[in-house]
């Protein structure tokens, strides 16, 4: 067993199979855990939702940062300028509708959905729909219009890596996330790069692009 930076005993040595955090280069001694609490029982310090991974699936709090705040944003110095371009994908929509579901009959493909570009800054970029009630304002805000009803308020998170690349984590969205047509497992980081297509919701596609500094 290997111990992750959060103190969890993990059977995997690349990413923690409890919280999804990337493992440190060298194993660290396991931190003593209180006898009365486990990671699954830990509550979010912001909204008290039970913990299920690195990010709170309700308000987006990052458990690896200081309590009550998000992870501090810093310049990774990679020199590359990354952007995420959002659009509507008719083929993906038709596939989702064909698979059925309780709301499939009421979801319509938007007649007009212009591409939008979001620059990627900092160590983490949240993807979802803003919520005043939850005090959630994701960096890639898919609130619309048009609004994709299949996108969760905190649907996924892009995490910057030291080498300038990115990974994506789904903290437990209602309808799941796909990268290049392959489902993303909850709280398991997946590496993404230029040209990769991230599908979520009923018709949303996000394409990553890398440009000059």
Per residue in 123-173, pLDDT (tens digit) is 999 999 998 888 889 999 999 789 999 999 999 999 999 988 999 999 999
The SS3 call for residue 179 is strand
Domain range enclosing 87: 81-211
User: How many Å apart are CA 96 and CA 90, to the nearest integer?
Assistant: 10
What are residue 117's DSSP bridge partners? 85
Residue 211's pLDDT band, with cuts at 50, 70 and 90, is confident
Going by the DSSP 8-state scheme, the letter that residue 199 receives in this structure is E
User: How many Å apart are CA 209 and CA 129, to the nearest integer?
Assistant: 22
Q: At 136, which CATH number?
A: 2.60.200.20
Residue 167 lies in a domain: yes
CA-wise closest residue to 57 among 4, 107, 19, 104: 19
pTM > 0.75: yes or no: no
Going by the DSSP 8-state scheme, the letter that residue 149 receives in this structure is T
Residue 86 lies in a domain: yes
Residue 154 lies in a domain: yes
What are residue 53's DSSP bridge partners? none
Residue 109 lies in a domain: yes
User: How many Å apart are CA 170 and CA 154, to the nearest integer?
Assistant: 9
Residue 57 lies in a domain: no
Residues 54-110 have pLDDT tens digits of 776 655 666 665 444 433 333 333 456 899 999 999 999 999 999 876 677 788 999
**Total domains, the chain:** 1
């Amino acid at each position: 067993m290997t111990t992750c930076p959060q103190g969890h005993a993990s059977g995997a040595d690349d990413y923690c199979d409890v919280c999804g955090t990337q493992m440190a280069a060298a194993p660290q001694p396991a931190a003593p855990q209180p006898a009365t609490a486990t990671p699954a029982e830990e509550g979010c310090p912001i909204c008290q939702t039970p913990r299920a991974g690195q990010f709170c699936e309700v308000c987006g709090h990052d458990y690896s940062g200081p309590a009550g705040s998000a992870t501090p944003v810093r310049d990774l110095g990679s020199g590359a300028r990354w952007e995420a371009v959002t659009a509507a994908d008719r083929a993906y929509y038709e596939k989702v509708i064909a698979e059925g579901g309780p709301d499939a009959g009421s979801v319509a493909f938007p007649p007009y959905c212009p591409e939008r570009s979001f620059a990627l800054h900092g160590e983490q970029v949240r993807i979802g729909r803003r919520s005043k009630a939850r005090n959630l304002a994701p960096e890639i805000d898919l609130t619309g219009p048009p609004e994709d009803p299949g996108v969760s308020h905190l649907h996924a998170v892009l995490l910057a890596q030291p080498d300038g690349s990115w990974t994506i984590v789904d903290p437990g969205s209602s309808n799941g996330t796909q990268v290049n047509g392959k489902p993303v497992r909850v709280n398991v980081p997946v590496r993404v790069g230029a040209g990769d297509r991230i599908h979520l919701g009923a018709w949303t596609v996000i394409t990553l692009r890398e440009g000059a500094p």
